[in-house]
Amino acid sequence: MYLLLTLFFISLAGIIFMVGKKLVMFQNGQLSREKKVLSEIQYLEEWKHLTVKNIKRHGYVALVTIIRFYVQSSNLLKNKYQEAKIKIKNMRDKKLNGNPAQKQEISNFLKIISEYKHKIRQIKHRIKEEESNH
């Protein structure tokens, strides 16, 4: 604690000394104000321009990264939700249809219709995947 306070007061004294020296030089006319100010302003303008340019570029990269992360995580959550929903449905169906007395035979016509529906869903899914890939 004392070390930090000592360093603070030493640096404060150094700053006061430097400012006082410049003030004395300026009052004696040994220091011209215009040259240094113009060169420092131009130098600062370059730094300001480069800083703003880099901040914009990194901001755009960060924005794209955040949007990608959002889309990927939402797709992942959606897929996991669908999987969980299917598992719960399957567990419920097993529980309801667990007794052999409750099972009913499905007619051959209904089996064929359900197979066609399943095939149509698969074809639609493939079409959507190909459209999203292109």
The structural domains of the chain, with segments of one domain joined by +, span: 40-97, 100-133
pLDDT in tens, 69-92: 999 999 999 999 999 999 999 988
Residue count of the chain, please give it: 134
Please give the Cα distance from 93 to 111 (Å, whole number).
18
pLDDT in tens, 37-78: 556 677 788 888 899 999 999 999 999 999 999 999 999 999
User: Taking a C-beta distance cutoff of 8 angstroms, is the pair 69, 63 a contact?
Assistant: no
- In the prediction, which pLDDT does 29 show? 76
- In the prediction, which pLDDT does 39 show? 60
- In the prediction, which pLDDT does 101 show? 47
Percentage of the chain with pLDDT > 70? 86
User: Taking a C-beta distance cutoff of 8 angstroms, is the pair 71, 79 a contact?
Assistant: no
Q: Which residue has the higher pLDDT, 14 or 25?
A: 14
